[in-house]
A and B are shown apart, each in its own frame.
Chain A
């Protein structure tokens, strides 16, 4: 196993005890991450989506890591899933975005809130890679404030018809199914649906390739034009879609935090190698104290964020066992926000410092740390911006009556 990842696995093993099947997931993740390295880098340089990601993950039976074994997944606890994402994060946030959306925002939403029939219909395919999920909450006019979303649905015989636009949707053009959020055309409350992307009226309007990073992850603008959805594809309870959306984001944020740990680990590895081999002023630059300050920053932030992410994961496991317990949910939500907020900022700053340690070559898109610098910026925006995380964390301390975004 990769050295820093092995250290994390050992620590977590001491903490919760890892079984044979759990270790085998992590060994598979280690191999898959190595296999993805070259294609991720090549596609990043070409500024293209990397189709190798689902292919390699499916080959190593990693498309359904947290999906229960009875549905064909590997039944990983949250902390094992976090370690899996930590290792993939070393290859960059492009891979993490694909997995986080497919698993944390998509598959787990169905597993946690779907009917038995929905679980049987979608989860075995998701675990194999035949079903790929996207998550459509953001719209051109609704981002940080999803309650203002404008996609609507009307009742249509035994089902519904959905119309609207979904903007900045990861996996949007490659997904087989979209978890779409919509409000009734003539009423209140948001509802979640599982939309089949091959259905009439669904279209990919634009693949958003003009991003400043994250090229290897597919991001699309989607249009729903009177798309029919069967009644069986309403997810959760009608009118309770926002609660489901936020529960999914709770999963997703832990995943992004874990991915950011991997980014910091790779920055540390790259910086270690570069600064101990590059010689300036007659000695390796790692012997200059100001370079050591950057190394110390990355290492300390990595260690701090590791424990925030693991703590959030442990709380999430507790909450998983009692999904109706609102106090547990609030606690897990707070800790996942803290983990994502700290890890995404630390990953971006670590990548920035790694670029600095690399000097001029760090500023070349060819340098592996420049890739992290460009990619990791998004983690401070998606699945809740820095500011929204700050408001959320503050109100968890001050009380709901102080929620500033109300």
Chain B
């Protein structure tokens, strides 16, 4: 099942600063919500067990995240791929930064979900994914602003 999400966030920090943090696996490792056993593998990737909770039901997926510095300091990509609890997921996202001194981060993500989780259906999954993505960006924004 394929999902497409997109949105934008305002971050009170310069684009250079946001870019360097967002593409630093060590920083991403610290800001991922509901993540366990986070391991930075090298300068562009990390691994983590991510808990996805839907009301009373939760699944754990072991994910590998790979960051691509496509066009510093404005464009980066992040691929998250993994499986667990009978589901598998691959998310490819693109971030574009603009503006200053505050930065607007425009992002889009394409997800391919298979297995048990796909049965929930795209309409509901999109609702949950939107909620989850907003949690992740709130967490990243707060961390970047706190560090800036």
Q: Could you list which residues of chain A lie within 8 angstroms of chain B, going by C-beta atoms?
A: 34, 37-38, 41-46, 269-270, 273-274, 277, 358, 361, 364, 366-368
The complex places the Cα of A364 from the Cα of B118 at a distance, in Å, of: 13
- Residues of B37-78 contacting chain A, CB below 8 A: 54-57
Determine whether the beta carbon of A273 is less than 8 Å from that of B1: yes
Determine whether the beta carbon of A274 is less than 8 Å from that of B123: no
Number of A-B contacts (CB under 8 A): 46
B122 CB-CB contact with A under 8 Å = yes
Determine whether the beta carbon of A368 is less than 8 Å from that of B1: no
The complex places the Cα of A269 from the Cα of B122 at a distance, in Å, of: 10
A38 in complex: contacting residue of B118, B119, B121, B131, CB < 8 Å: B131
Instruction: Chain A residues near B128: list those with CB within 8 A.
Output: 38
Instruction: Chain B residues near A34: list those with CB within 8 A.
Output: 127
Determine whether the beta carbon of A361 is less than 8 Å from that of B55: no
A273 and B116 contact, Cβ closer than 8 Å, known pairs A42-B55, A366-B57: no
Determine whether the beta carbon of A37 is less than 8 Å from that of B124: yes
B123 in complex: contacting residue of A43, A45, A46, A269, CB < 8 Å: A269
B147 CB-CB contact with A under 8 Å = no
A41 and B122 contact, Cβ closer than 8 Å, known pairs A46-B55, A273-B1, A366-B57: no
Determine whether the beta carbon of A42 is less than 8 Å from that of B54: yes
Instruction: Chain B residues near A270: list those with CB within 8 A.
Output: 121
Determine whether the beta carbon of A367 is less than 8 Å from that of B56: no
Q: How far is the CB of B122 from chain A (nearest CB, A)?
A: 6
12 contacts between A and B (CB under 8 A): A37-B127, A41-B54, A42-B55, A43-B55, A45-B54, A46-B55, A274-B121, A277-B1, A277-B118, A361-B119, A366-B57, A366-B120
Determine whether the beta carbon of B55 is less than 8 Å from that of A41: yes
A366 in complex: contacting residue of B119, B122, B123, B127, CB < 8 Å: B119
Residue of A nearest to B122 (CB): A273
Instruction: Chain A residues near B121: list those with CB within 8 A.
Output: 269-270, 273-274, 368
The complex places the Cα of A41 from the Cα of B131 at a distance, in Å, of: 13
Instruction: Chain B residues near A273: list those with CB within 8 A.
Output: 1, 121-122
Besides A46-B55, A273-B1, 8 more A-B contacts (Cβ < 8 Å) are A34-B127, A41-B127, A44-B55, A45-B54, A46-B56, A358-B119, A366-B119, A368-B124
* Shortest Cβ-Cβ A-B pairs, 6 listed: A45-B55, A38-B127, A42-B55, A361-B119, A37-B127, A368-B121
Q: How far is the CB of B70 from chain A (nearest CB, A)?
A: 31
Residue of A nearest to B116 (CB): A361
Q: How far is the CB of B123 from chain A (nearest CB, A)?
A: 7
Q: How far is the CB of A5 from chain B (nearest CB, A)?
A: 12
Instruction: Chain B residues near A37: list those with CB within 8 A.
Output: 123-124, 127
Instruction: Chain B residues near A366: list those with CB within 8 A.
Output: 54, 57, 119-120
Instruction: Chain A residues near B56: list those with CB within 8 A.
Output: 45-46
Q: How far is the CB of B15 from chain A (nearest CB, A)?
A: 32
- Residues of B6-31 contacting chain A, CB below 8 A: none
The complex places the Cα of A172 from the Cα of B32 at a distance, in Å, of: 42
- Residues of B99-148 contacting chain A, CB below 8 A: 116, 118-124, 127-128, 131
Instruction: Chain A residues near B122: list those with CB within 8 A.
Output: 273
The complex places the Cα of A270 from the Cα of B122 at a distance, in Å, of: 9
Give the residue among B57, B121, B131 with the most A Cβ atoms within 10 A. B121
Q: How far is the CB of B44 from chain A (nearest CB, A)?
A: 32
The complex places the Cα of A270 from the Cα of B119 at a distance, in Å, of: 9
Q: How far is the CB of B113 from chain A (nearest CB, A)?
A: 10
Q: How far is the CB of A33 from chain B (nearest CB, A)?
A: 10
Q: How far is the CB of A404 from chain B (nearest CB, A)?
A: 43
B124 in complex: contacting residue of A38, A46, A274, CB < 8 Å: A38
The complex places the Cα of A365 from the Cα of B91 at a distance, in Å, of: 26
Residue of B nearest to A277 (CB): B1
Q: How far is the CB of A17 from chain B (nearest CB, A)?
A: 30
The complex places the Cα of A278 from the Cα of B127 at a distance, in Å, of: 22
Q: How far is the CB of B138 from chain A (nearest CB, A)?
A: 16
Determine whether the beta carbon of B119 is less than 8 Å from that of A274: yes
The complex places the Cα of A34 from the Cα of B54 at a distance, in Å, of: 17
Residue of B nearest to A44 (CB): B55
